[in-house]
Structure 1
Amino acid sequence: MGLSMRFNTMAAMALAALTLAGTAPAMAQSTTPSFFGFFRPSDFGNGTGKGYSSIRRQVVAYNGKYAPGTIVVNTAERRLYLVQDNGTALRYGIGVGRDGFRWSGVQTITRKAEWPGWTPPAQMLQRRPDLPRYMPGGIDNPLGARAMYLGSTLYRIHGSNEPETIGQAVSSGCFRMTNDDVTDLYNRVRVGTKVVVIN
């Protein structure tokens, strides 16, 4: 057997072993469909150098105390969990509030909106007087494709026109998701859904 054939055989055996162990590289997932084409893992950063592969949506084991249908936001992990039946949850990567803007508590989704318009709150306009007073919904809007409003607060779970910020602490307290992920979550939850934020 030639050197090249031996190498190919060894590589195939290694890949088979990884597959059986459940740790095979996600070759078929090198691109993720999105509203705007396809994103490569290298298109995303989360501030840790791990890229999009570490924050993409996936089903994970979940042993928390919350009922199925509850949204649990873990700001330290920069992850959002939608609790499912049978000890699992859908896990999404999120962007969270920067230092001084993170919060915790329990809210409910009081409103849902598709391609929402954005009116920066007065506190934000004080910090950023250059911002528009109103921006209609669309691909350039910072709220992205969907928004879920939390209680009577100014906070939302929403999409983003800056997907590279997912996994980072850059917002004023809202939770950012990719437009694909926020649309997926939006379609799974309803007004009245409980949202638990753990800081």
Structure 2
Amino acid sequence: MSKLTTPFLSRRAFLLSASAAGVAGSPAFAQSDPNSGTTEVEADITETVRRNISSFRALDWRPYFSNTKNGAILVDIQSRALHWWSEDQTQYKLYPTSVPITEDLTRTGRTRITRKVEGPSWAPTPAMKRRNPEWPDFIGPGPDNPMGTHAMHLTWKYYRIHGTHDTRKIGRRSSNGCIGLFNEDIADLFERSNVGTQVLLI
């Protein structure tokens, strides 16, 4: 693991502080203090989330989209699930997600995928950097990256659907706006989705 020299925060130190802060993705960070109200539990719930995927409610695309041209993605913030439909409506997938910590960080409405990146890099937003000046300005692709293995940019600046190496964050309110998936799930969704795929967050 390479390290940044002072006055920059070392990558190891960043990861330790980020772990304490609950890194979920870019730009997605949560507080780990169980009394802070920003995450529900700190125990590893990865297996629980995986088992519970079968209990998530399947949805029909028609109440949410007028058509499925270019495919369609619905993110249900309340149930913390992402639904995907193929353009020809023959395929449907359901994935557990992480969602924003608070209402003020939650953006809802219609957008679309504008760019797909395998092996994404990460940089804090200006607001995040002001709050946490000790954080590094940039992290390249790899296991240290809070965005996981794949990222899909949206029309909204700083908002992405991406993976995460910290699987504890899936199924929780743990991001500053982005939607996080298990790395294997974002890889699957990445292959199924196209630039131009419709996205609706509700």
Residues 62 and 88 of structure 1 are in contact (CA less than 8 Å); yes or no, is this contact kept in structure 2? no
Alignment equivalent of 1:197, drawn from 186, 190, 201: 201
- The equivalent residue for 1:121 is 125
Whole-Å Cα distance in 1 between the matches of residues 58 and 95 of structure 2? 13
Structure 1 residue 62, shift from structure 2 partner: 2.7
Tell me the amino acid that sits aligned with residue 141 of structure 2.
G
Residues 101 and 172 of structure 1 are in contact (CA less than 8 Å); yes or no, is this contact kept in structure 2? yes
- The equivalent residue for 1:64 is 61
Residues 49 and 170 of structure 2 are in contact (CA less than 8 Å); yes or no, is this contact kept in structure 1? no
Would the alpha carbon gap of residues 106 and 135 (structure 1) be closer, same or farther in structure 2, given more than 3 Å must change?
same
Would the alpha carbon gap of residues 83 and 170 (structure 1) be closer, same or farther in structure 2, given more than 3 Å must change?
same
Aligned sequence identity (%): 34
- The equivalent residue for 1:92 is 95
Question: What is the number of equivalent residue pairs in this alignment?
Answer: 153
Structure 1 residue 102, shift from structure 2 partner: 1.1
- The equivalent residue for 2:45 is 45
> TM-score, normalised to structure 2's length?
0.69
- The equivalent residue for 1:79 is 81
Structure 1 residue 88, shift from structure 2 partner: 6.4
Whole-Å Cα distance in 1 between the matches of residues 49 and 59 of structure 2? 23
- Aligned positions of 1:1-199 closer than 5 A: 44-45=44-45, 50-55=48-53, 61-65=58-62, 66=65, 67-68=67-68, 69-84=71-86, 89-99=92-102, 100-198=104-202
> TM-score, normalised to structure 1's length?
0.70
Q: Which runs of 5+ in 1 are unaligned?
A: 1-42
Would the alpha carbon gap of residues 116 and 86 (structure 1) be closer, same or farther in structure 2, given more than 3 Å must change?
closer
Tell me the amino acid that sits aligned with residue 45 of structure 1.
I
Structure 1 residue 116, shift from structure 2 partner: 0.5
Q: Report the secondary structure of 1:52's partner residue.
A: helix
Q: Which runs of 5+ in 2 are unaligned?
A: 1-42
Whole-Å Cα distance in 2 between the matches of residues 161 and 128 of structure 1? 21
Structure 1 residue 50, shift from structure 2 partner: 4.0
RCO comparison, higher one (Cα < 8 Å, 6+)? 2
Residues 61 and 88 of structure 1 are in contact (CA less than 8 Å); yes or no, is this contact kept in structure 2? no
Q: Which has the larger radius of gyration?
A: 1
Whole-Å Cα distance in 1 between the matches of residues 122 and 89 of structure 2? 38
RMSD: 2.5
Whole-Å Cα distance in 1 between the matches of residues 120 and 163 of structure 2? 10
